[in-house]
Amino acid sequence: MLKGIGLPFTSRESRIEEELQPLSIPAHRQTGAPAIAIACLKANDVGKREKGRALIIAADTIVVMGKKVIGKPANREDAENILRLLSGKTHKVVTGVCILKMPGHVSFKFSVTTDVTMAKMTDRDIRWYLNTGEPMDKAGAYGIQGIGGIFVEKIRGSYTNVVGLPLPELLVALKKLRAIEMVG
């Protein structure tokens, strides 16, 4: 997504395990807190290996249904259960973003929430989609930017957030940090 908007970057993988399940959001916590926390863990993990000046952008996307937090499915059965849970209902997609300005401090962190309504999926739809393999590495067991998009009836909010990186909000943060300048 960064390449698509012309921002130069180098990709570094974090070694953080995204252990979310079973997790629920207590009433006193903000919905974005788990995603922000994991994004900051990822940024700090990468930051430990970086030398010199760098700007690290890390993100983590979760799906929230009621108070239940849903990450990536553990296996095919888990993916099937998640798709059944989301079928015909509206859920929240929350992406937490953490920007770390090296050396070593959090410069900006935020979350964005988008409401997504899924079409009612038949057992046959779910089996077919599972056979594509796409659900296995996606929060909520679907990818809106891929085959899973055919099951999305509507969204209210940011499409790029559902894909995994809320670009308009990221752009605002990068401008505030003076990490980018718009020319023209």
| Among 13, 31, 14, 16, residue whose Cα is nearest residue 69 | 31
Is the alpha carbon torsion for 42, 181, 107, 72 positive or negative?
Answer: negative
Q: Report how far apart the first and last C-alpha atoms of the chain are (Å, whole number).
A: 22
Which pair of structure tokens corresponds to residue 72? 């990536």
137 assigned to active site: no
- How many CB atoms neighbour CB 71 within 10 A? 23
Q: Which of 45, 60, 78, 115 is catalytic?
A: 60
Beta partners for 119? none
- How many CB atoms neighbour CB 99 within 10 A? 23
Q: Strands, E, within the chain: which ranges?
A: 23-24, 55-65, 68-70, 90-101, 105-118, 152-156
Which positions are annotated as active-site residues?
Answer: 60
